[in-house]
Amino acid sequence: MEQQTLIVVGAVVIRDGRVLAAQRAGPEALRGRWEFPGGKVDPGETPAQAVVREFREELGADVRPLHQLGADAPFPAPGRDHTRPAVLRLWRVELLSGEPEAREHLSLRWLNAAGLRALDWLPADVPFLDIVEPLLSPGAVTRP
Ligand SMILES: Nc1nc2c([nH]c(=O)n2[C@H]2C[C@H](O)[C@@H](COP(=O)(O)OP(=O)(O)OP(=O)(O)O)O2)c(=O)[nH]1
């Protein structure tokens, strides 16, 4: 039976020229590596709804989704005993209220361009760094 492609959404929140990155606590194979906070889109949920829900659950703060960044990036998502087809979809979001805290992650960091390049990102995230980095330069003219 053909498996439906799983959509994983990641939130890109930028404040004062820095982007928020989150360090995964699990599963063991991914522990310690960095990602954009988010998670799997549930059935019946839009990706924009998922990013708001995941951000609230995992970081305890409210965000407003703005727009997708770049294109979906296919990757094999780790499953229980095999991988399943997935795409990573990044959303630029605006922080509305609350201060993000690591409720389910090992730690959080606000990164400038140099910091962005220094971390051990999940493989699917790496191509997105070229899209995120220009948004961090002090003079960047960007949508919010
Ligand atoms: N959240 C997130 N997951 C990512 C990114 N890049 C990437 O490869 N992934 C992978 C890691 C996981 O295999 C999968 C997302 O799973 P998850 O564990 O974060 O999803 P979830 O919060 O919905 O968790 P669960 O309900 O399955 O426990 O996508 C990213 O930037 N953010």
Tell how far the Cα of 39 is from the centroid of ligand 1, in angstroms.
4
3 state SS of 35: strand
Q: Measured between alpha carbons, how far is 29 from 31 in angstroms, rounded to an integer?
A: 6
Instruction: Say if CB 124 and CB 75 are below 8 A apart.
Output: yes
pLDDT tens digits for range 52-110: 999 999 999 999 999 999 999 999 998 878 899 999 999 999 999 999 999 999 999 99
Task: Give pLDDT, residue 137.
Answer: 73
Structure pTM? Answer: 0.94
Structural domains of the chain, ranges and CATH numbers in brackets: 6-136 (3.90.79.10)
Ligand 1 site-directed mutation target among 7, 30, 40, most atoms within 8 Å of CB: 40
Burial label, 2 (beta-carbon count in 10 A; 0-12, 13-18, 19+)? exposed
3 state SS of 73: strand
What is the interface pTM, i.e. ipTM, of the complex? Answer: 0.96
Nearest C-alpha neighbor of 62 from the set 48, 49, 52: 52
Nearest C-alpha neighbor of 14 from the set 103, 127, 113, 130: 113
Q: Measured between alpha carbons, how far is 64 from 94 in angstroms, rounded to an integer?
A: 5
Burial label, 130 (beta-carbon count in 10 A; 0-12, 13-18, 19+)? exposed
Residue 100 CB less than 6 A away from ligand 1 = no
Residue 12 CB less than 6 A away from ligand 1 = no
- CA-closest residue to ligand 1 atom 27: 40
